[in-house]
Chain A
Amino acid sequence: MAGHSTYEPQNAGAKWLERRLPVLSLVHGSFVAFPTPKNLNYWWTFGGIAFFVLVVQLITGIVLVMHYTPNDALAFASVEHIMRDVNYGWLMRYLHSNGASMFFFAVYIHIFRGMYYGSYKEPREIAWILGVLLFFLMVLTAFMGYVLPWGQMSLWGATVITNLFSAVPVVGEAITTWLWGGFAVGNPTLNRFFSLHYLLPFVILGVVMLHIWAFHVAGNNNPVGVDPKSDKDTVPFHPYYTLKDLFAIVVFMILFSWFVFYLPNYLGHADNYIPANPMVTPAHIVPEWFLLPFYAILRAITFDIGPIPSKLGGVIAMGGAIAILFVLPWLDTSKVRSANYRPVYRFFFWLFFFTTIMLGWLGSKPAEQPYIAWIQFFTVLYFAHFLIVLPVLGLIETPRKVPDSINDAVLGKSSDAA
């Protein structure tokens, strides 16, 4: 992460530390003097916003564990204890439950930003892959966290998702039994999910550090998509982007607070205020909103594909929808990074965005016609974007002229505006 530091320790203590563990110059080089393209727009603040929400989740999560009991007989009541008796317990829980949604909201914007501006392209492939890994870890963590209150949606969501593994040929049943620690989702399942839900956020934190390290090697991408060529193209991270990110975080907190204080249950599901009952399934099993597009793709495969039964096909399609993101850097054949200079790609980008929104909406609908047909249609669009549009478009599209440098682009824009 270092390499840009002009840091000179000022006092004796700092000098003493610097000779033994150069952590101050590391921080200085990575988050103070770090040369950052001067043209980053507000879409670039969502990485910092996501990190902020991760910290909120870690702190409120540690607090909630001080009062929560991971036991199938006590979990639901312990959550109500938090909501009713613990000092500011309701605030801690609503921050945490809505924080999960906020985290995904910020990360989705962060991912779409990366796609629009081609941030995954050479030499930032590893940063992108680590990002997809982070997203996958978030999905796992959020899923297991939703199980902990042990309401109806907790139990049945866990049942449905763990049953996905039963689609695996031959060993499927052995895997689900192993995951459950029994013959259905029960107390052993709740305990291991609790353990992993506590562990994974720290893994996420570690991978975040690698993610930052990876993109600090190449430096930030930027809206023009041209690497900085001189000092004119960059500003030091502090105070320019510390202030800009902080401003964006505080604006984001307004949205966050809107949900926490005024709509705390809007993003949740009413059925999760009913204690888990293994004898009765709720009428509609619906995951949280941020998993809906993948849930839709799971249900798109309603037919057998050769030797693959539809159940396994759905699981493969859903897994593939995330897995395909890992190889995105090699599917896009265009050398131009920013969609600002790729008019045809820009159209397909927004089509892809629309596709994911529609998949999300359809994922919340019951598994019946005409929804299934629409889900299949948009699932085809989803995969076609990666497997057909991106490889072909790079070969046939004529991009607009890319500016020579960031500074040229910025000055050009200013004179346009004037």
Chain B
Amino acid sequence: MEHTDTAEPSRRDFLYIATGAVGAVGAGALAWPFIHQMNPDASALALASIEVDVSAVEVGQSITVTWRGKPVFIRQRTEKEIAEATEVPIADLPDQFARNANLEDGADASDANRATTGKEAWLVMVGVCTHLGCVPLGEAGEYGGWFCPCHGSHYDTAGRIRKGPAPENMLVPPYKFSSDDVVVIG
């Protein structure tokens, strides 16, 4: 047995390293199913798109629908509200990006960029305050838009943050009008 003593350490080390490495790979592969099971499941992903009939929403009215478990505000704005939102210089806004999933990432927060072409009166946005996730109240706050009662964030009539702790404008989800009366969200 002695003759193996000199050759042995490297061979033994190799065996130990190989065994340990294979075991580590196995443990890593095993962990994935246990992590992935908590991600949205197939039925949740399949429900990711909804259609909403907005024919009953008059000028100056809002409805709230549920999309991916969150409220989505759909509002047909008045001329006055649009005018107020358009007049604000972008430089005065705390968040100068559109936060509109239908546009490029860097688009500015002009009122037109918060709505969609041809349907400028309509505002469709996820009704979740960008501070800590509360649902803001409509037609409230210092700017006549939305007001979050949790920590006092004020949004204007285009859903942009104007005052308070929220860092961003409310998110505009991916949507399109499939006809004059029907919005497809998601």
A–B direct contact (CB < 8 Å): yes
Size of A's binding interface in residues, CB under 8 A:
13
A91 to B42, CA, bound (A): 15
| B43 contacts across to A, CB distance below 8 A | 81, 85
| A151 contacts across to B, CB distance below 8 A | none
Q: Are A87 and B37 in contact (CB under 8 A)?
A: yes
A66 to B26, CA, bound (A): 24
Which residue of chain B lies nearest to A84 when distances are taken between CB atoms in the complex?
B42
Of B39, B41, B43, B44, most buried by chain A (CB within 10 Å of CB) is B41
Instruction: Given A81-B43, A85-B43, decide whether A66 and B38 contact each other with a Cβ distance below 8 A.
Output: yes
| B37 contacts across to A, CB distance below 8 A | 63, 66-67, 86-89, 92
A66 to B36, CA, bound (A): 13
Distance in Å: Cβ of A163 to nearest Cβ of chain B: 37
| A63 contacts across to B, CB distance below 8 A | 34, 37
Q: Chain B contact residues: over half helix, strand or loop, or mixed?
A: helix
A283 to B33, CA, bound (A): 38
A339 to B168, CA, bound (A): 76
What 1/0 mask marks residues of chain B from 37 to 59 whose CB sits below 8 Å from any chain A CB?
11101111000000000000000
A59 to B37, CA, bound (A): 12
Which residue of chain B lies nearest to A92 when distances are taken between CB atoms in the complex?
B37
What 1/0 mask marks residues of chain A from 186 to 213 whose CB sits below 8 Å from any chain B CB?
0000000000000000000000000000
| B38 contacts across to A, CB distance below 8 A | 66
Q: Are B33 and A87 in contact (CB under 8 A)?
A: yes
Q: Are A88 and B33 in contact (CB under 8 A)?
A: yes
Of B33, B34, B37, B39, most buried by chain A (CB within 10 Å of CB) is B37
| A87 contacts across to B, CB distance below 8 A | 33, 36-37, 39, 41-42
What 1/0 mask marks residues of chain A from 115 to 142 whose CB sits below 8 Å from any chain B CB?
0000000000000000000000000000
| A92 contacts across to B, CB distance below 8 A | 33-34, 37
A59 to B43, CA, bound (A): 24
| B41 contacts across to A, CB distance below 8 A | 67, 81, 85-87, 89
Of A63, A86, A89, most buried by chain B (CB within 10 Å of CB) is A86
| A89 contacts across to B, CB distance below 8 A | 37, 41
| A67 contacts across to B, CB distance below 8 A | 37, 41
- Among residues 60 to 117 in chain A, which have CB atoms less than 8 Å away from a CB atom of chain B? 63, 66-67, 81, 84-89, 91-92
A84 to B39, CA, bound (A): 14
- Among residues 39 to 75 in chain A, which have CB atoms less than 8 Å away from a CB atom of chain B? 59, 63, 66-67
| A84 contacts across to B, CB distance below 8 A | 42
Which residue of chain B lies nearest to A86 when distances are taken between CB atoms in the complex?
B41
| A88 contacts across to B, CB distance below 8 A | 33-34, 36-37
Distance in Å: Cβ of B21 to nearest Cβ of chain A: 15
Distance in Å: Cβ of B20 to nearest Cβ of chain A: 11
Distance in Å: Cβ of B84 to nearest Cβ of chain A: 46
Which residue of chain B lies nearest to A64 when distances are taken between CB atoms in the complex?
B37
A302 to B24, CA, bound (A): 56
Of B33, B42, B43, most buried by chain A (CB within 10 Å of CB) is B33
A89 to B40, CA, bound (A): 12
Q: List 15 A-B contacts (CB under 8 A).
A: A59-B34, A63-B34, A67-B37, A81-B41, A85-B42, A85-B43, A86-B37, A86-B41, A86-B42, A87-B36, A87-B41, A87-B42, A88-B33, A88-B34, A92-B33
Residues of B within 8 A of A (CB): 33-34, 36-39, 41-44
15 further interface pairs, Cβ-Cβ under 8 Å (given A66-B38, A89-B41)? A59-B34, A63-B34, A63-B37, A67-B41, A84-B42, A85-B42, A85-B43, A85-B44, A86-B41, A87-B33, A87-B42, A88-B34, A89-B37, A92-B34, A92-B37
